[in-house]
A and B are shown apart, each in its own frame.
Chain A
Amino acid sequence: GNSVTQMEGPVTLSEEAFLTINCTYTATGYPSLFWYVQYPGEGLQLLLKATKADDKGSNKGFEATYRKETTSFHLEKGSVQVSDSAVYFCALSEYDDMRFGAGTRLTVKP
């Protein structure tokens, strides 16, 4: 079945540092890939998505590229802020069946 493997946290960075969170997937078909963010006590918010190979999703300075050859969808941001502290989930979806990675907790210190 489909699955997502995500870099385990927690990750602690200083403000303005570069962020990478690794995500790889296993799928039998052609899934869409997502990054969701969850702030404490809240539901999940879509951060970005890509629906086919070589697509790049981007939002609020975050980027991820759908790489079919390496089955990856790594999340990057050039300069993190304290407000980026949250849990980040990589996910794949095929025919309404969305599967999430384990989640990576990011803490950004001033």
Chain B
Amino acid sequence: DTEVTQTPKHLVMGMTNKKSLKCEQHMGHRAMYWYKQKAKKPPELMFVYSYEKLSINESVPSRFSPECPNSSLLNLHLHALQPEDSALYLCASSQFPGGGTDTQYFGPGTRLTVL
């Protein structure tokens, strides 16, 4: 099973709302990632968790707050977002952190619209 699941599939929120995106994998992978993908653009790395610890933060604004409660679960908490944050948010996982050779398995994404 090489599945990464993401919920919700779609999310519409106002600029004052607080919401969370959820990502789950049961492949025993120890690295998990959040990416942001704007329309017709490539994914951009936001955060990397290695062994449940934040290892890379690509200077993402603090209105995005990641959390890794356990090795299977990754959350992205959203607060006071701007309309320009509207995008497809992709989660991915890979088996071993740090190597760079591992395949990253992507979920289907959450399409976020900020009004």
Contacts and interface: CB of A to CB of B under 8 A. Distances in A.
Interface of A: 31-32, 34, 36, 41-46, 49, 51, 89, 93-103
B42 interface: yes
Contact of B103 (A49, A96, A101, A102): A49
Contact of A96 (B6, B44, B56, B90): B56
B104 to A, nearest CB: 6
Q: Is the interface of A mostly helix, strand, loop or mixed?
A: strand
Contact of B100 (A42, A89, A96, A103): A96
A98 B98 contact: no
B81 interface: no
Interface residues of B, number: 30
Contacts of A102: 41-42
A102 B44 CA distance: 10
B114 to A, nearest CB: 20
Given A101-B42, A102-B42, 5 more contacts: A43-B108, A94-B100, A96-B97, A97-B48, A98-B33
B60 to A, nearest CB: 14
